[in-house]
Amino acid sequence: MRVVVIGGTGHVGSFLVPRLVRGGHDVVVISRGASTPYTDDPEWTDVERVTADRADEDRTGVFADRVAALRADAVIDLVCFTLESATALVQRLRGEVGHLLHCGSVWRAGPSHVLPVSEENATPPFGRYGVQKDLIARMLKEETARGGLVTTSLHPGHISGPGWVPIGPTGNLDTSVWTTLSAGLPLQVPGLGAETMHHVHADDVAQAFERALAHRDAAAGEDFFITAPDAWSVRGYAELGASWFGQRAHLESVTWEQFRAGLSAQDGEASWEHLVRSHVFTIDKARRLIGYDPQHSAGQTVLDAVRWLVEHGSVQVAAPLLV
């Protein structure tokens, strides 16, 4: 199959593209050319590369034509963030492509009211990013239901893996959290630290796309939450992280105002956005319909990322990783 991957050098694409090549597919990657993949798998030598700035070409109305001109059997869109962009691509690929797969986000779900959150019981989203991802997923589902383009949307949790900073126990990218935990020092957490986060390894997300592509009929018109099989609360996550350094977590419960006062504006906003949702998802639908089988627990997922950061000197720790 000829497969075009839009944004194929990012977190998910770095793992997905080599999988597709190993699966015997003819793979074309569209990217801005500003970054290299996070993995150096030899399969990348067999990939056709196309350089394009999607944002610029969407504005001029030529990006969808560029994708259509590649004459793919399937298109995997990893970097679409607005309904307008998604709609333009669908309209151009209708009748031209056999399957369009879209990377959404668990942020299409609002705060958890029932646990675990499923595709059926998720609350309405909030914030521009989550609202747009939800609108895109609904548009894609309706497109397929009307007999148009066959589409599938996959909605990953907090994507983590070697090569970049994971969302930490306090819901942001502040790497000093790992320094604090490695030293056994007190870590401030908002309230009781009972809010939850649901991570997923980038390679498991890649596996989900590969499975959805292989099971097109089962995936047609569907949307799937894609996460690790388990989730962690702030408190449990911090205790787990401390244990990697042979320490115990010493958590200090504070109010949200006190907690945010000790962070940059960016980290404070990130913490609020991640923790207020308090997400825990079920992946039963993805397991049942496309055979999704995550190979990394949430703890293993973040540990992979932290280990890479420590080994590359991106995080200063007071004790060695013991796992």
Q: Are 198 and 109 in contact (CB under 8 A)?
A: no
Residues 272 and 172: their CA atoms lie apart, in Å, by 9
The pLDDT value recorded for residue 35 is 76
Q: At 104, list the tokens.
A: 């959404």
The pLDDT value recorded for residue 298 is 97
Residue 262, CA distances (Å) to 174, 203, 216, 238 in order: 11, 34, 48, 17
3-state secondary structure of 196: strand
What pTM value is reported for the model? 0.97
Which domains, from first to last, does the chain contain?
2-159+199-226 (3.40.50.720), 162-198+232-278+297-311 (3.90.25)
Q: At 165, list the tokens.
A: 């900073």
Q: Are 141 and 153 in contact (CB under 8 A)?
A: yes
3-state secondary structure of 39: coil
Q: Are 2 and 72 in contact (CB under 8 A)?
A: yes
Q: Which ranges constitute the DSSP H helices of 184-283?
A: 202-214, 216-219, 234-243, 256-261, 265-275
pLDDT tens for each residue of the chain, 323 residues long: 999 999 999 999 999 999 999 999 999 999 998 778 888 899 999 999 999 999 999 999 999 999 999 999 999 999 999 999 999 999 999 999 999 999 999 999 999 999 999 999 999 999 999 999 999 999 999 999 999 999 999 999 999 999 999 999 999 999 999 999 999 999 999 999 999 999 999 999 999 999 999 999 999 999 999 999 999 999 999 999 999 999 999 999 999 999 999 899 999 999 999 999 999 999 999 999 999 999 999 999 999 999 999 999 999 999 999 99
Q: At 139, list the tokens.
A: 């548009």
Nearest C-alpha neighbor of 4 from the set 89, 129, 87: 89
Residues 150 and 148: their CA atoms lie apart, in Å, by 6
Question: 238-256 in b/e burial notation, b at 16+ Cβ within 10 A?
Answer: bbbbbebbebebebeeeee
Cα 28 from chain centroid? 21
